[in-house]
């Protein structure tokens, strides 16, 4: 079995990085950049430790296989700051709500990147 927990999202070195770089006055762009850096660290950890995605079974078709790893979104990072005591829970919740509003108003994805509006999502047939 590979070292590490395949479902683990926050490793100690990531929490320390978040602790060192978190500041209440960070702009939305800075928060998105920090989330991207944390995601890069997470991907490196998974690669170096040979952590593979967990097994799952599709609830619709019953196929059993490897799931996909998730990445560190801006909102996940904000909530982790509250969870790990880097900021207070109420501040994290309030910032999370503001982020969600800002994200929708500016058509951003979960990582804070502009969504491609040239090709709108396909309608279900």
The answer to whether residue 28 sits within a structural domain is yes
Label residues 40-78 b or e (16+ Cβ within 10 Å = b).
ebbeebbeeeebeeeeeeeeeeeeeeeeeeebbbbbbbb
Give the residue from 19, 47, 21, 52 showing the smallest Cα distance to 34: 21
Read off the pLDDT of residues 34-75 as tens digits, 9 standing for 90 and up.
Answer: 999 999 999 999 999 998 888 888 888 888 888 788 889 999
- What is the domain extent for residue 47? 12-105
The answer to whether residue 1 sits within a structural domain is no
Task: Please name the residue ranges forming H helices in the chain.
Answer: 12-21, 28-48, 74-83, 89-105
- Kindly report which listed range (11-25, 50-64, 78-92) carries the lowest average pLDDT score: 50-64
Tokens of 31: 């928060």
pTM above 0.95, yes or no: no
Total domain count, the chain: 1
Read off the pLDDT of residues 92-119 as tens digits, 9 standing for 90 and up.
Answer: 999 999 999 999 999 998 888 887 765 5
The answer to whether residue 83 sits within a structural domain is yes
The answer to whether residue 67 sits within a structural domain is yes
């Amino acid at each position: 079995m590979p070292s590490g927990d395949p479902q683990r999202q926050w490793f100690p070195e990531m929490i320390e990085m978040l602790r060192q770089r978190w500041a209440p006055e960070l702009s939305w762009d800075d928060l998105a950049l920090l989330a991207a850096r944390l995601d890069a660290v997470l991907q490196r950890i998974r690669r170096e430790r040979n952590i593979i995605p967990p097994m799952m079974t599709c609830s619709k078709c019953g196929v059993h296989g490897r799931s996909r790893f998730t990445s560190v979104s801006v909102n996940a990072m904000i909530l982790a700051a509250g969870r790990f005591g880097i900021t207070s829970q109420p501040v994290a919740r309030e910032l999370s709500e503001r982020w969600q509003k800002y994200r929708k108003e500016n058509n951003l994805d979960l990582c804070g990147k502009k969504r491609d509006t040239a090709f709108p999502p396909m309608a279900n047939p």
